[in-house]
Amino acid sequence: MATIAKVTTGASASSALNYALGQDKAMHNDTERWLEEHQLERPDDLKNCRAVAVGGTNGIDPMIAKEQFKAVQQAFNQTQRQNQVRRITQSFADNELNARNPSDWQRANDLGCQLAQQLYPDYQSAVYTHIDGKNHIIHNHIIVSKVNLETGKKMQDTQGHSVDSIRNVNDEIAKEQGWQVIAPVREHQSQAEHDLTKKGEYSYMHDLRSRIDTVMQDTSICDFKTFSAALAKSGVNVSIRGQNVSYAFLDANNKQRRARGKRLGTDYDKETILHELERRTRERTAQQLDREDQGRANELVRDTKQADTETTRTDTALEQRERQAQSRKPRIDQLRNAVKPIADHLQHFT
């Protein structure tokens, strides 16, 4: 079925769009070789991109979406480098859309654009379709600018409500395609925990998830060491054991508790946590490169202005000398005219 794999907030629109387009970036998981083995070629205009199909809403050209997003941000004075975009990862089952069929690449992109248009009719969206996942499953990276085109106001984040709304619309699109719709599983809840939650009583599993969620909401945490240190301040010790991650803490009743990530749910297992931290590291690096590029650009502008100023000064000095020379010329001509009769007379006298 078509699923919403992840919904996150991006601090920088530029970084999110750069990653999704992946211009001049190598594909992951040996996808280049996989394409050759299956005699598949990317579209000519995307030969050097990770994306194999692109699209957008509200007039967005995904190849220049950075400039278009930025223009609207500047028009409404919404240029702060925080919470600029919403990122949605939409994935398709192999029996729905097959990565070995290039026509399905564009079909997936069209469905991503449909989802973005229905969810955010008053916002700019760019959609990038990838096939370079571990099992070459077709998936979309949908990047939505948070600036409303009509009001100029910023989109408000109510994370749980947003995810539910996105999944509901996605399910409706899947039904239209005749695909099976299965409720997503975010957490594993035992019957005992379910009963406690239903009664409104304390659940140490719910407590543990809340502590992890609070730490992960800090987008400056982008490596496992920082993640571990932040959790430790919340009273949770985290460790990686083989393919699993394990959490241990004292619950509200001062009882030692331990749980594996998989027991808490897929959002808390080793693969999901490390993948999110790696993504943040890539975005942080891209932001740093953006800042360095901007710094170099500003320095170049300053140098150009300084050179222009020096050239102007030189031109002004030359013009001044020329005016002085021009002002002396009439006096020289007058002297010549005065001296000439005397010279002629002396020559005649001689």
Domain check: are 195 and 174 in the same one?
Answer: no
Domain check: are 199 and 296 in the same one?
Answer: yes
Domain check: are 206 and 108 in the same one?
Answer: no
Q: For residue 120, what pLDDT is reported?
A: 96
- Residue 326 C-beta-side C-alpha neighbours within 13 Å: 6
pLDDT below 70 — which residues of the chain? 1, 157-161, 180-200, 290-291, 293-294, 297, 301, 305, 307-315, 317, 325-350
DSSP class of residue 23?
Answer: T
100 touches 41 (CB < 8 A): no
Handedness of CA 332, 334, 337, 339 (dihedral sign): negative
Domain check: are 201 and 142 in the same one?
Answer: no
Q: For residue 185, what pLDDT is reported?
A: 43
How many domains is the chain partitioned into structurally?
2
Say which residues have a Cβ less than 8 Å from residue 178's Cβ, sequence separation at least 6. Answer: none
Domain check: are 215 and 335 in the same one?
Answer: yes
Identify the domain boundary among 184, 217, 233: 184
Domain check: are 105 and 221 in the same one?
Answer: no
Identify the domain boundary among 133, 155, 184: 184
CATH label of the domain that carries residue 120: 3.30.930.30
Provide the residue range defining the domain that includes 53: 1-184
Domain check: are 176 and 191 in the same one?
Answer: no
Domain check: are 5 and 143 in the same one?
Answer: yes
Q: For residue 21, what pLDDT is reported?
A: 95
Domain check: are 179 and 194 in the same one?
Answer: no
Q: For residue 187, what pLDDT is reported?
A: 46
Written as six digits, the tokens of 3 are 């699923």
Alpha-carbon torsion angle 254, 270, 211, 189, nearest 10: -70
Identify the domain boundary among 136, 156, 184: 184
Domain check: are 88 and 194 in the same one?
Answer: no
Domain check: are 82 and 205 in the same one?
Answer: no
Domain check: are 198 and 233 in the same one?
Answer: yes
Query: What's the whole-model pTM score?
Result: 0.58
Q: For residue 148, what pLDDT is reported?
A: 96
CA distance 239 to 246: 5
- How confident is the model over 16-53, as pLDDT tens digits? 999 999 999 889 888 999 999 999 999 999 999 999 99
Quickly list DSSP for 70-114. HHHHHHTT---SSS-EEEEEEE--TTTS-TT-HHHHHHHHHHHHH
